[in-house]
Amino acid sequence: MLNKYPLWKYLLIIIVCAMGVIYAMPNLYPPDAAVQITPAKSGDSVDEYTLNKALGTLKEANIEYFGQELQANKTALIRIKDSEQQLEAKGLIQRQLGDGFIVALNLAATTPQWLIDLGAGPMTLGLDLSGGVHFLMEVDMEEFLSQRLKNYNVAIKRSLRDEKLRYKRMVGSGENAIEIKFVDDEVRETAYNFLRREYPEFASSTVDKDDAFWVRLALTSAKVKEFEDYAVKQNLTTIRNRVNELGVAEPLVQRQGRNRIVIELPGVQDTAAAKKILGKAANLEFRLEALPDASRYSSEEFGFKSEPRRRARLEKAIIVTGDNVSNAQPSFDENSQPQVNINLDGNGGAMMGKVTKKAIQRRMGVLFVEHKVRTRYEMKDGVEVAVEDKYVEKKIISLATIQSALGSSFRITGLEPAESSELALLLRAGALAAPMYFVEERTVGPSLGKENIDLGVSSVQIGLALVLIFMLVYYRVFGVFANVALTVNLLLLMAVMSMLGATLTLPGIAGIVLTVGMAVDANVLIFARIREELGSGLNPQQAIHSGYDKAFLTILDANVTTLIVAVILFAVGTGPVKGFAVTLSIGILTSMFTAIVLTRAMANLVYGGRRVEKLSIGGK
């Protein structure tokens, strides 16, 4: 019999629609503005005393709050009644609690527990809808490759000494190269063969210049690219760890191009605090104090961080760096002075033990290395412009006598309380493989995010209303079928995005608006086909059956080609483009279900299995 669905199809449609309603419902419950308190030290937790201390601070400032709670993950959450006071509340609590806690802006869910128990949750809002900060950072590849060459310089010198191959001097050359001057041609030839074998990452060649015998080692392009990829990937991991330490919900950290990283922190308005942690290219170097007879070629002089006038000479050879730190926690010693407890990884611990075993009663310095940017202003063409100068600052933070061989665990002293917490956080998150600098910074206020949401919702409502009115007037009863399908399509789209944890952005809302038009377009094709079949003399039942069957391939082709474009946009696009591609792709899939399966089910229920003289589908 024409136009009849089996019972299981109707049940399947009902189940899908019910799931759509359930998983879309959490989006009807907007989150509350909140501040989240997290211990800076791993293993600690926020207790009642700390929470009450924070609440007392808000009371004194006349900031209204509600729904304060201690959470299972050892943090505390305080909901702020007025979102405009969220940033002020965060600053007051941070000053009151000090560096022992990280206070972050957050959005607290208001979804009913029964929906949470079913695994339902609202869509995540992107930066443009929730407010926050956007950073674009650039990795200093030139400095990174320069440091790698310095490390090779030390290693090659050691290798040549071990092989008893005498050389006169070793200098850096342009284009990521090292040049070594040898005493005669025979030694050079032996060294050349040895270096080619031991250091295949270099393109080796012999050079005769200045009446001397040289070997030139230049990093291969493949090795340079490998180093660059490593630097960006390591920095991505470090930045993600630092963002996690900041306690930001749903951050975006991703690579852009060859040497840039995009960071978006929804809900964060304090750009200074975020930049202080994210942009700090700080590291540690552990070196022995230079012996009195050490030459300037094997040692360097540094000032002390806490005592600017005090200076000391350290060996150039580095024992270990912050890259070898596996864990770091701030604490206080027996004299209540701040310190950082350091744990090294296996390689770092072995190297530290090997060196300090032979250096008992000598002093070891801990060098704090920081890459900074200094801004100066100069006149160019009669206009004052800002010029950024990059420089490296190295300060000694500790110089202590080695009493016995050190292992993988020891401590650093000589820091201020704030410095110890910050240093521990940076080391715990991991050191940056290469220095990074901010090249772009944007702040999106929460009020602007709310305005974007309101405008986006209004555009969907207006577009939907116009389409509903047109379909109802032009296609009558079949217009009702299309309107119901269109409404269910939006529900399913929101439900699927919520289930997948997709992030909704302003371009994503544009994708939803486009989906509304595309979804109804399928029904227009079907209804137009049914009209044609009626005009050719088929009875209503045959016209419905033929209309859906013959329009299906056309609809499938159109949607598949659009879906392919959306997948390509998602694969090659970034940020906003991906948001648009996600909503468009999901919308295509849900509209195929509602426009074809759901509307046909309604048509079958109304017209199927009975004698029909005329269809209410408009037209002549």
CA-CA-CA-CA torsion for 345, 346, 351, 357, nearest 10 degrees? 100
The pLDDT score that the predictor gives to residue 340 is 81
Residues 44 and 17 in one domain: no
Give the number of other CB atoms < 10 A from CB of residue 383: 7
Residue 357 lies in a domain: yes
559-to-134, 155, 297, 315 alpha-carbon distances in Å? 34, 60, 69, 67
Residues 462 and 600 in one domain: yes
Residues 210 and 343 in one domain: no
Question: Tens of pLDDT along 473-494?
Answer: 888 899 899 999 999 999 999 9
Residues 205 and 309 in one domain: no
Residues 458 and 560 in one domain: yes
314-to-163, 273, 303, 361 alpha-carbon distances in Å? 27, 33, 11, 15
Residue 121 lies in a domain: no
The pLDDT score that the predictor gives to residue 598 is 92
Residues 75 and 187 in one domain: no
Please, which residues have CB within 8 angstroms of residue 373's CB and are 6 or more apart in sequence? Answer: 388, 389, 390, 391, 437
Q: Does the pLDDT value for residue 449 go beyond 70?
A: no
The CATH number of whichever domain residue 199 belongs to comes to 3.30.1370
The pLDDT score that the predictor gives to residue 277 is 66
pLDDT band at 429 (very low <50, low <70, confident <90, very high): low
The pLDDT score that the predictor gives to residue 12 is 93
Mean pLDDT of the residues in the chain: 82
Q: How far apart are CA 441 and CA 429, in angstroms?
A: 22
Question: Tens of pLDDT along 356-373?
Answer: 888 898 988 888 887 776
Domain boundary among 82, 108, 134: 108
Domain boundary among 387, 413, 437: 437
The CATH number of whichever domain residue 433 belongs to comes to 3.30.1360.200
**Could you tell me the residue range of the domain that residue 329 belongs to?**
282-437
Rounded mean pLDDT, 68-78: 83
Residue 253 lies in a domain: no
Question: Tens of pLDDT along 514-528?
Answer: 888 778 888 888 988
- Amino acid identity, residue 397? I
| Ordered DSSP codes for 565-614 | HHHHHHHH--HHHHHHHHHHHHHHHHHHIIIIIIHHHHHHHHHTTS--S-
Strand partners, 179: 171, 216
Query: How many domains does one find in the chain?
Result: 4
Give the number of other CB atoms < 10 A from CB of residue 71: 13
384-to-116, 379, 560 alpha-carbon distances in Å? 57, 4, 55
The pLDDT score that the predictor gives to residue 58 is 92
Picking from 168-182, 185-199, 543-557, which range would have the lowest pLDDT averaged per residue? 168-182
110-to-27, 33, 114, 318, 505 alpha-carbon distances in Å? 10, 11, 12, 53, 20
The pLDDT score that the predictor gives to residue 377 is 66
On whether the CB atoms of residues 152 and 220 are closer than 8 A, the answer is no
Q: Does the pLDDT value for residue 246 go beyond 70?
A: no
pLDDT band at 11 (very low <50, low <70, confident <90, very high): very high
| Ordered DSSP codes for 483-501 | HHHHHHHHHHHHHHHHHHT
Residue 616 lies in a domain: no
Q: Does the pLDDT value for residue 592 go beyond 60?
A: yes
Q: Does the pLDDT value for residue 123 go beyond 90?
A: no
Residues 421 and 541 in one domain: no
Record the tokens describing residue 102, joined without a space. Answer: 């990280």
Q: Does the pLDDT value for residue 83 go beyond 70?
A: yes
Residues 428 and 451 in one domain: no
Sheet holding 338-344, edge to edge: 325-332, 338-344, 409-413
Residues 49 and 69 in one domain: yes
Rounded mean pLDDT, 152-168: 84
109-to-23, 29, 68, 112, 113 alpha-carbon distances in Å? 15, 8, 13, 9, 10
pLDDT band at 13 (very low <50, low <70, confident <90, very high): very high
Q: Does the pLDDT value for residue 75 go beyond 70?
A: yes
The pLDDT score that the predictor gives to residue 18 is 94
Q: Does the pLDDT value for residue 32 go beyond 80?
A: yes
427-to-52, 144, 411 alpha-carbon distances in Å? 31, 19, 13
Percent of the chain with pLDDT over 90: 11
Residue 173 lies in a domain: yes
Q: Does the pLDDT value for residue 614 go beyond 80?
A: yes
Q: Does the pLDDT value for residue 600 go beyond 70?
A: yes
pLDDT band at 426 (very low <50, low <70, confident <90, very high): low
| Ordered DSSP codes for 330-387 | EEE-TTS-EEEEEEE-HHHHHHHHHHHHT-TTSEEEEEEEEEEEEEEEEEETTEEEEE
Residues 412 and 473 in one domain: no
Q: Does the pLDDT value for residue 386 go beyond 90?
A: no
Percent of the chain with pLDDT over 70: 89
Query: Which is nearest to 431 in space by CA: 166, 238, 145?
Result: 238
Record the tokens describing residue 267, joined without a space. Answer: 């809900």
pLDDT band at 448 (very low <50, low <70, confident <90, very high): low
- Residue indicated by tokens 């030694």: 187
Rounded mean pLDDT, 229-244: 81
Q: How far apart are CA 39 and CA 144, in angstroms?
A: 33
Question: Tens of pLDDT along 525-572?
Answer: 898 899 888 888 888 888 898 889 888 888 888 889 989 998 998 888
The CATH number of whichever domain residue 76 belongs to comes to 3.30.70.260
Question: Tens of pLDDT along 250-295?
Answer: 677 888 888 899 888 876 655 556 666 676 656 778 899 998 887 7
3-state SS record for 169-209: EEEEECCCEEEEEECCHHHHHHHHHHHHHHCCCEEEEEEEE
Q: Does the pLDDT value for residue 502 go beyond 80?
A: no
- Amino acid identity, residue 475? Y
Residue 117 lies in a domain: no
Residue 122 lies in a domain: no
Q: Helix or strand or coil: residue 269?
A: coil
* Alpha-helical regions (H) of 68-204: 86-97, 113-117, 127-130, 141-162, 185-198
Residues 72 and 154 in one domain: no
Domain boundary among 411, 437, 463: 437
Residue 150 lies in a domain: yes
Question: Tens of pLDDT along 310-356?
Answer: 899 999 888 888 777 777 777 887 777 788 888 888 888 888 888 88
| Ordered DSSP codes for 562-574 | HHHHHHHHHHH--
Residues 392 and 484 in one domain: no
* This model's pTM is above 0.95: no
Picking from 118-132, 346-360, 594-608, which range would have the lowest pLDDT averaged per residue? 118-132
Query: Which is nearest to 288 in space by CA: 304, 272, 299?
Result: 299
Q: How far apart are CA 569 and CA 590, in angstroms?
A: 19
The CATH number of whichever domain residue 453 belongs to comes to 1.20.1640.10
Record the tokens describing residue 527, joined without a space. Answer: 């209804």
